[in-house]
Amino acid sequence: MIALHDAVGRLSAALGGSPAAKLAASALVEADALGLPRFGIAMLDEWAADAAPVPETAGAQAVSWLDCSSCFAPLAVAGTTLDLAGTARQSGIAAVFLRGVRGFGRLVPFVRHLADTGLVGIAGAEGPPFVAPHGGTRPVIGTNPFALAMGRGSERVVIDIASSSATMADIKTARMTDAPLPDGIALDGAGRPTRVAADVAALLPRGGQIGSLLGLTVELLAGVAGAGRGDAKGRGVFILAFDPAAAGEGIDWQGKLAALKSDWTDGGGYWPRGGALAAGTMLDGDFAQRLDTHLARMAGQAGC
């Protein structure tokens, strides 16, 4: 067993102890604590002592593009998120487009960090083609998650949507158990609906046309405008932030947010919070052992 806080502290130190290291460590450990180990410290497999530092843009441009293919992705996404917060506060609005991004975990911790600083944070990530367009037969885009966070405390809202109805990891799990898939989530190699995991050649968009168009939106931003599409070195990611306080005192966005939350939950809706954890959260012995192994490998490389 290890406390969340201690795990984040140890990993943050191993990643260099910078604010970006702290945010990256926190993002990875949180995913394990939420039961999403695919997005957790498993990402450290890609860490190398000689990874490039996060590339800096010349000056604080409101919109910038960065090639992250030589970086350790969680640190690159964390570092650009921190830089973006400063630029958005200065300019009112800013965006960064990353390409060549390898495994970095979940988008949520990064947009939530922007919300912590009082900004509205929005992000999306494209990836390898697993998902067919609505009405289509072959995979064209990734599962293309989209995330948004704003507010703090009990009003905090964190939206986290995948554009597909399942992930390729779900399909791999189903392959191991031979369990039939739910209806309407996948196509076989001939473009026909299938419930047999071994036959899956494409995932279907979540909710039909609307999921298809949301996935296309993320692809257009992260893959086309951000140029991430088709880059074998990694994914395309965009992160956008703006400062609602720039509206001045005439606009009480926090009050509007609290009122919307109240209307939403009174109307029977679930107010999404993106899976935040309590401060005293503990991780199990298996996690602690995996963390030790990663830290030992990192210390060995760093000492060379």
Is residue 153 part of the contact set for its own copies (CB under 8 A)? no
Judge whether 4 and 277 are in contact, CB under 8 Å: yes
Chain mean position to CA 98: 13
Is residue 18 part of the contact set for its own copies (CB under 8 A)? no
Contact with its own copies (CB under 8 A): which of 42, 161, 282, 295?
Answer: 161
Residue closer to its own copies, measured from CB, 49 or 251: 251
Contact with its own copies (CB under 8 A): which of 94, 174, 181, 204?
Answer: 94
Using DSSP, state whether 202 is helix, strand or coil.
strand
Q: Smallest distance, Å, CB 31 to its own copies?
A: 20
Pick left, alpha or beta for residue 184 (phi over 0 → left; psi -120 to 50 → alpha; otherwise beta): left
Q: Smallest distance, Å, CB 100 to its own copies?
A: 12
Q: Which stretch binds its own copies (CB under 8 A): 70-78, 176-184, 243-251, 285-293?
A: 243-251
Is residue 120 part of the contact set for its own copies (CB under 8 A)? yes
Contact with its own copies (CB under 8 A): which of 18, 91, 117, 281?
Answer: 91
Q: Which stretch binds its own copies (CB under 8 A): 31-39, 78-86, 126-134, 173-181?
A: 126-134
How far, in Å, CA of 26 to CA of 202, rounded?
33
Question: DSSP class of residue 104?
Answer: -
Is residue 190 part of the contact set for its own copies (CB under 8 A)? no
- What separation, in Å, do the N-terminal and C-terminal C-alpha atoms of the chain show? 30
Is residue 221 part of the contact set for its own copies (CB under 8 A)? yes
Q: Which stretch binds its own copies (CB under 8 A): 9-17, 23-31, 45-53, 227-235?
A: 227-235
Question: Counting beta carbons within 10 angstroms of the beta carbon of residue 181, is it exposed (0 to 12), middle (13 to 18) or buried (19 or more)?
Answer: buried
Q: Which stretch binds its own copies (CB under 8 A): 6-14, 153-161, 175-183, 275-283?
A: 153-161
Judge whether 202 and 186 are in contact, CB under 8 Å: yes
Contacts to its own copies from residues 245-304, by CB under 8 A = 246-248, 251-253, 256-257, 259-260, 263-264, 266-270, 272
Contact with its own copies (CB under 8 A): which of 18, 70, 117, 217?
Answer: 217
Contact with its own copies (CB under 8 A): which of 207, 273, 282, 288?
Answer: 207
**Residue bearing tokens 């604010």:** 19
Instruction: Provide the pairing of β-strand 186-188 with 200-203.
Output: antiparallel
Q: Where are the alpha helices (DSSP H) in the chain?
A: 4-14, 19-33, 73-91, 108-116, 168-177, 209-218, 253-266, 285-303
